[in-house]
Amino acid sequence: MYNAVALSWSNVLAPPDVPADMPPIVFAMRNVLAVLAEAGTGPEYAAKLTIYLAVGVDPGVAYAATRSVWGDHRTAVTVLAVTPARPGALVEIEAVATLPDR
């Protein structure tokens, strides 16, 4: 099993190369995909996603954005509204995936 975690911040705290109109959940999902790819795996090997949203972030928007980036890969998803551990964080995503046989 491989565990990947990605964070996304409000546009005020986002890295300078992130477009201002990119939803934080999209940024975080793209980071998860990049981390999984670096480990030699991908969304097709993911068993579970846990998405932690700052209170006030619309879960409907989060689900739609997740699907737009993640695609049609059937993955268990849990979404929780939380007070972020890191001030300014809007989204944290944890992905648990297997590594493919090589």
pTM for the full predicted model: 0.80
Give residue 28's domain range.
Answer: 2-97
- Give the rounded percent of residues in the chain with a pLDDT score beyond 90: 10
The verdict on residue 102 lying in a domain is no
pLDDT of residue 23: 76
The verdict on residue 66 lying in a domain is yes
The verdict on residue 33 lying in a domain is yes
For the chain, what is the domain count?
A: 1
pLDDT of residue 5: 54
Q: What is the pLDDT of residues 67-83, one digit of tens each?
A: 888 888 888 989 999 99
The verdict on residue 25 lying in a domain is yes
The verdict on residue 37 lying in a domain is yes
Spell out, as residue ranges, where the chain has pLDDT lower than 70.
Answer: 1-21, 102
pLDDT of residue 12: 44
The verdict on residue 78 lying in a domain is yes
pLDDT of residue 2: 55
Q: How far apart are CA 18 and CA 82, in angstroms?
A: 24
Look up the CATH number of the domain holding residue 11: 3.30.1330.40
